[in-house]
Structure 1
């Protein structure tokens, strides 16, 4: 049976509806899963004529139809007096995006969907609507009752995880502890085995400071925290190396020698990953009780409504969600 992928609508004032519609009708997507968009029908119907896409309104999760340029819509409740303000965050756009996420997660927990792929949202819009989370990852972890999670970015050339996510750079050093790093490495090992079927994964851990601290001259987090955690796992025969100086590690393309990399903070990992392959990179939330992916970009307010958004990352996100769902099933057999 083909996996059922619940695709959220995202921010209606951004490119979420556009990339979602474009992606779910792709042959490469339909060849591996049955994707459907959770959205108010009237809203997606605004976009569909301009994109040349027909819509099928599903009566339930099993009412899936296939056809050329046909998108399946799992209808949310219709919202009254919705005003689309392209390029701007708003309470109503946050409300629609948030409720779409809630429905998708619930469907996964109840077995009505195999995985969820979330379209880009505005954190400000979600907060205006009362969804007070730093991002979708934290929100979905809460909704799925997942105690641990790890943000990863994946394409055909690299798998990279983040030790810290959406926090100010000034707080990164204090946030990185022995316990945090050990937990993130544990999740990373588990997901590489379970979700990517890599039996004995190799992991590279990046340092926090320039030159990985230069043996304590430019910071001591590597000596006091990062290296001892690596040694703890190495003593248990896990293949974990580091801490590496990030600039040299990526400059010399050492990432090709490892199954995954653990970065200490957001931009340290995201800049090289997106330079390696921006359009085909996927955000994956490892460690959750459900499978969740998303494209690696945001709402792109600057091009919202112009119908020029690139849907490649969304396509890859849906495909990866189906692959991980199948891998987990095979791993658990």
Structure 2
């Protein structure tokens, strides 16, 4: 039986031709990481030994064939496959995508079965991973199907948290996706996540407009006036501190984001461009709203530098720490809600 403080962190390997393995190695070469968690890499000893040799890593692996064989304070590698795989750094390869999915599928199964406590995913290539089994725009949609819940892409750091109304949707299709129902669902998901996952007592949330200048009172598009404003007013009347729509072009440059616990962007680039500009290398992609915890770094496979040993592991390491902290926060939240008296005493 594992110690309560030794959180099991499952790690899917991502695209084998990208930087995933490198940032995993660099993260756990720091032996202090093993004081916080027990990592389990879903890949194979053969594959990880190749990466260890290529990157001249001093890391020691503990190879296992079953999750019952996990040893705490070791970097465990579960043999999801046993065959030798040819690695071609920086190349888009359907075979690499196939193994990325094998790793993700097995790790997700372990998460569902509580064999791991949290999941941290290394970057996939969204093209090469496509198959009959994986027909999704990315991790978020796949995990929503497998784990259940109202999933939401939530980009987080200590000081900045950005959620999305729509994520991997073509820009031309964004307005038709944004409905009152969707807005209410996403606000609720972020609100609950801030309370349960990040221990924010009374969240204050800003929502960015759909159109330039939030529509300029209907001069530049009607969606902000007809959909966003009345829906946000309705939510606010129910007691939630949700404000907007704000003009997106000046919101971040004016530092207005510092006045809120989270910001909801209407579409992918509206939220992720400022987020990555402000926090690149520190940010974490967290899938809020699921029954289980999954995080990932805020970048992709970086094929252009794959295999060169120059990848920065900071975001991946942050993803590990964020997953661990959310796991602890959720446990604490459950304890407090089961014992309201303890919660009330703590506030006094």
Q: TM-score range by the shorter chain?
A: over 0.9
Deviation at 1:241, TM superposition (A): 0.7
2:202 to 200, 203, 215: 200
Deviation at 1:39, TM superposition (A): 0.7
Separation in 1, partners of 2:29, 2:71: 13
The answer to whether the 8 A contact 2:155-2:162 is kept is: yes
Separation in 1, partners of 2:168, 2:65: 38
Separation in 2, partners of 1:65, 1:188: 33
The answer to whether the 8 A contact 1:303-1:309 is kept is: yes
Say whether residues 1:55 and 2:61 are aligned partners.
yes
TM-aligned CA distance change 1:36 to 1:213, over 3 Å: same
Separation in 1, partners of 2:163, 2:310: 30
Separation in 1, partners of 2:254, 2:67: 48
Separation in 2, partners of 1:45, 1:169: 42
Question: Which residues of structure 1 form unaligned runs of 5+?
Answer: none
Q: Which residue of 2 aligns with 1:91?
A: 94
TM-aligned CA distance change 1:45 to 1:238, over 3 Å: same
C-alpha RMSD over aligned residues: 1.5
* Secondary structure of residue in 1 paired with 2:252: helix
TM-aligned CA distance change 1:127 to 1:105, over 3 Å: same
Separation in 1, partners of 2:132, 2:123: 16
Q: Which residue of 1 aligns with 2:229?
A: 227
Mean CA deviation greater in 130-139 or 27-36: 27-36
Separation in 1, partners of 2:208, 2:35: 37
After TM superposition, list the pairs within 5 Å mapping 1:17-166 onto structure 2: 17-27=21-31, 29-49=33-53, 50-61=56-67, 63-66=70-73, 71-79=75-83, 82-128=85-131, 130-144=133-147, 146-166=148-168
Deviation at 1:65, TM superposition (A): 4.5
The answer to whether the 8 A contact 1:205-1:263 is kept is: yes
Deviation at 1:313, TM superposition (A): 0.3
Say whether residues 1:11 and 2:11 are aligned partners.
no
* Secondary structure of residue in 1 paired with 2:332: helix
* Secondary structure of residue in 2 paired with 1:280: coil
Deviation at 1:194, TM superposition (A): 0.9
Q: Which residue of 2 aligns with 1:312?
A: 314
Separation in 2, partners of 1:129, 1:19: 29
1:173-209 Cα offsets, whole Å, 9 max, x none, are 1111111111111101111111111121100000011
Deviation at 1:60, TM superposition (A): 4.0
TM-score, normalization: structure 2? 0.91
Mean CA deviation greater in 299-308 or 99-108: 99-108
Deviation at 1:237, TM superposition (A): 1.1
Deviation at 1:251, TM superposition (A): 1.3
The answer to whether the 8 A contact 1:117-1:292 is kept is: yes
1:276 to 274, 278, 283: 278
Deviation at 1:51, TM superposition (A): 2.1
Separation in 1, partners of 2:33, 2:271: 27
The answer to whether the 8 A contact 1:282-1:294 is kept is: yes
Query: For this pair of structures, how many residues does the alignment match?
Result: 328
Separation in 1, partners of 2:239, 2:249: 27
Separation in 2, partners of 1:125, 1:295: 19
Say whether residues 1:257 and 2:259 are aligned partners.
yes
The answer to whether the 8 A contact 1:150-1:285 is kept is: yes
Runs of 4+ in 1 over 6 A off after TM superposition: none
Question: Which residues of structure 2 form unaligned runs of 5+?
Answer: 336-348
The answer to whether the 8 A contact 2:29-2:58 is kept is: no
* Secondary structure of residue in 2 paired with 1:12: coil
Separation in 1, partners of 2:329, 2:64: 27
